[in-house]
Structure 1
């Protein structure tokens, strides 16, 4: 593990604390302009997000209507009702995005897949970068106002579903995540600059509670008037 990643993981609570848990639950409220582009109505109702920490599994409820939840893995996405009744499902869900651009409308399973992999990636960072198959290296830092944020580029293994194969993370002087950059391959490969803030300590693990993803320009600067996705988290707990 390169020193930058080791220091970042330690600043976020360390692998020993992280590995002592298996599940993380949070209340999430989501907004932004992205959903309208996909033909979706995104309300401000709080929902419950649950993720497994050591394999890529996630669910959110309610989804679509009360009593329904999603069941996400990289190989399958499903919408499940009471009694484990499958309302809809799709195997090999990544293939269903072939030919999509930023404005291609999504069905509920498209949305559920995106929600599953995105929130799992966000809520497990930076610890997921220590998992088998990731390749990481330090890159040029980013200057944000008076601060210089050290940069790390991660190449994701094929088994992990996420925005893109390569993603960049930037860490502040305290080594906590400040920014996460990527391209959203399943929506026309647009570039995003995702700002991360307001961390809280949960059992000694530092987890950001405010996320704002903007369109990113060619100069790597965020387009502040183009807020694609906002995510606010609260009531975090390990189960």
Structure 2
């Protein structure tokens, strides 16, 4: 990582609360409400019921509840996805869940375990950003600035190793003058490489750490612009709690 890249990343980490503060916690919990067109593309329905998302900060692990039934939750790790009851009984599970998406296109139907895996890695990523950029094997480089309307955003391209389960190996992140995340570009590899531009805003703060309260992911066109008429995923986050 060059000195310039390191300087931008350091400013980004500080703007979101600082790496030292983040390292002092092990879990974050939040209430999430999810919508968007992706679920219908996958043959699923998505309601507006608030759910509790629990994300571990220093291991790739997460859980959402309720899932499928009031007394059920997910248990996500990169090498295993499970749906279990609140007293720990396994309802369904799948080892090596990423392999189950092989050959999927944008409209390939998902079963509940596909959905649980997607939720698990995606929310783990979102609720650990930008601090996951410091994980072993992650490489960060600064790109040329980006003009977004009247704003000029600095950008980091982040290369994730195979040991980190996320949307795709290379993702771009855009930061405002305050060094807070504004936009996140990626391809959804588990859905045929669907290109997305996710805008984030309405920051909330807990324990001195800052996370966006709203995330809106749109299909991204060939000119790297969001197609506003195609909202893929909407996530509202509230009640952020670190422990």
Q: Which residue of structure 2 aligns with residue 183 of structure 1?
A: 187
Q: 2:84 aligns with which of 61, 80, 85?
A: 80
Q: Which residue of structure 2 aligns with residue 105 of structure 1?
A: 109
TM-superposition CA deviations, 1:164-209 (whole Å, max 9, x none): 0000100000000000000001101011000010111111111110
Query: Residues 205 and 240 of structure 2 are in contact (CA less than 8 Å); yes or no, is this contact kept in structure 1?
Result: no
Q: 1:43 aligns with which of 41, 44, 47?
A: 47
* Aligned positions, number: 239
CA–CA distance in structure 1, aligned partners of residues 231 and 205 of structure 2? 27
Give the SS at the match of 1:157. coil
CA–CA distance in structure 1, aligned partners of residues 144 and 222 of structure 2? 15
Q: Does 1:70 align with 2:70?
A: no
Query: Residues 32 and 52 of structure 2 are in contact (CA less than 8 Å); yes or no, is this contact kept in structure 1?
Result: yes
Give the SS at the match of 1:117. helix
Query: Residues 25 and 242 of structure 2 are in contact (CA less than 8 Å); yes or no, is this contact kept in structure 1?
Result: yes
Q: 2:213 aligns with which of 203, 209, 212?
A: 209
CA–CA distance in structure 2, aligned partners of residues 132 and 35 of structure 1? 33
Give the SS at the match of 1:83. coil
More divergent stretch after superposition (143-152 vs 107-116): 143-152
Q: Does 1:231 align with 2:235?
A: yes
Q: Which residue of structure 2 aligns with residue 55 of structure 1?
A: 59
Structure 1 residue runs without a partner (length 5+): none
Deviation at 1:138, TM superposition (A): 0.3
TM-score between the two structures when normalised by the length of structure 2 = 0.97
TM-superposition CA deviations, 1:18-58 (whole Å, max 9, x none): 01110000000000000000000100000000000111100
CA–CA distance in structure 1, aligned partners of residues 204 and 38 of structure 2? 27
CA–CA distance in structure 2, aligned partners of residues 107 and 221 of structure 1? 31
Deviation at 1:210, TM superposition (A): 0.2
TM-score between the two structures when normalised by the length of structure 1 = 0.99
- Root-mean-square deviation (Å): 0.7
CA–CA distance in structure 1, aligned partners of residues 49 and 202 of structure 2? 21
Q: 1:156 aligns with which of 148, 160, 175?
A: 160
What stretches of structure 1 move > 6 A for 4+ residues in a row?
A: none
Q: Which residue of structure 2 aligns with residue 143 of structure 1?
A: 147
CA–CA distance in structure 2, aligned partners of residues 212 and 142 of structure 1? 19
Q: Which residue of structure 2 aligns with residue 32 of structure 1?
A: 36
Q: Which residue of structure 2 aligns with residue 170 of structure 1?
A: 174
